[in-house]
Amino acid sequence: MAETRLREAICRFGRSLFERGLTPGSSGNISVRLDDGGWLVTPTNASLGFLDPDKLSRLDAGGRLVSGDAPTKEVPLHNALYQTRGAARAVVHLHSTHSVALSMLPEIDPRAALPPMTPYYLMRCGQTALLPYYRPGDPDVADAIKGLAGKYASVLLANHGPVVAGDTLEAAVFAMEELEETAKLYLLLRGMNPRYLSPAQVADLTKTFGLTLPDAHDHP
């Protein structure tokens, strides 16, 4: 896709996410990897609901600003996902309510923050890792992401929010929406002993759709 169209797509998806209350104020950020190795990313302190295509930050392959406004402070977070997820062409990070709430619960397994609740959660997100708290913009979060060794496209940052990588911008946004809805389902059903997908059903989805799910022991 041409860079002009990618800029427009970032603004269109950003506005959609903002208008549905999935990331308030000036929170959240979106990036897209370009064919030359550089990337477009939303600027710092910018609301996803009011982005200007011409003011998006254009970074080179080394992460240096080439044009546009100053980039989000979460550049290290995005860069770590691009480095470890070879097929990733887009990254979305939000402060969506239900995913943030999920990240604060004591029973959450850091290797699988959500159980296999629905087929589309597994198909779009795989499994979701939970990382410890890092302050926003902390470069150490990049090392934590790299420690996942590219096995997770979907990650929760404790007390902060979700971040998802996809092979297209649309795929990353759809996966983020699926993660948020599944987190909402988990909170609605918490303590009610719901029926999750069985191992046989998960195996069937994995085989049918060619899913690659992290092993239960991949992430400490």
65-69, long-range: CB within 8 Å, 24+ apart, which pairs? 66/38, 68/43, 69/43, 69/44
Beta bridge partners of 155: 129, 163
* Cα first-last separation, the chain: 38
Contact 162, 173 (CB under 8 A): no
Distance from C-alpha of 44 to C-alpha of 42, rounded to nearest angstrom: 7
Q: Is 152 tagged catalytic?
A: no
Contact 110, 219 (CB under 8 A): yes
User: Which DSSP state fits 53?
Assistant: G
Contact partners, residue 192, CB within 8 Å, separation at least 6 = none
Active site residues: 120
